Amino acid sequence: MLITGMKNSLLLVVAIIMAFSFTKINVQDDPWVAPESAKEIENIVPEKKRAASAKKGEKVFMKRCSFCHGETAKGDGPAGARFTPKPANLTSESVQGQTDGEIFWKVSNGRGNMPKWESILSEEERWDVVNFIRTVIE
C-alpha cells in the first residue's frame, strides 16, 4: 500500500512537471501581438523630421537595446542569447510589417525579459527608437 501511494505521488509529480514544461513551450512559441488598438497609435514625429529622429533613436537603441537585440538589431545581442524566447530580429518582415503604433506599444509595454520602457524612456525617445527601427531593414 505504501509503495502504491509513493508511485501515485511520483506519477502526480511527473505529470505536474510535464504540464508546466508544455506550458512553457507554448508561452515561448506564443507570438507577441500588440492589441488591435495599438494599430491606431500615430507616430508623433512629422515625416520630414523622422531621419533626424532615427539618428537620435540609434543612440538610444545602442545604449538601451543593443545588448539584447544586437548592434545590427537582428536579435543576436550578448545578453539576448540567454533568453527564451530570443529577442526579436527587428530587421525581419514580421517586425517591419507592423505599424509604427504596434512597435511603439511593444517598446512602451515590454514583455517577458524586455523591460517596460515607458517608465524609463520619454515618449519622444520611444518614438525615436521606432523611427530607428524603421531604418534597419534587411
The domain limits of the chain are 1-30, 34-133
C-alpha distances in Å from residue 23, one per residue of 18, 77, 82, 95:
8, 26, 19, 25
3-state secondary structure of 74: coil
**Residue 97 CB: number of other CB atoms within 10 A?**
8
pTM (predicted TM-score): 0.79
Which residues lie below 8 Å from residue 84, measured CB to CB, with a gap of 6+? 28
CA distance 98 to 89: 13
Cβ distance 130 to 100 under 8 Å?
A: yes
Residue type, 110: G
Encode pLDDT of 70-96 as tens digits.
999 999 999 999 999 999 999 999 999
Which CATH fold would you assign to the domain 34-133?
Cytochrome Bc1 Complex; Chain D, domain 2 (1.10.760)
Encode pLDDT of 28-76 as tens digits.
457 899 999 999 999 999 999 999 999 999 999 999 999 999 999 999 9
Q: Which of 89, 96, 54, 53 is nearest to 68 (CA)?
A: 89
Q: Which burial class, exposed, middle or buried, applies to 32 when counting CB atoms under 10 A from its CB (0-12, 13-18, 19+)?
A: middle
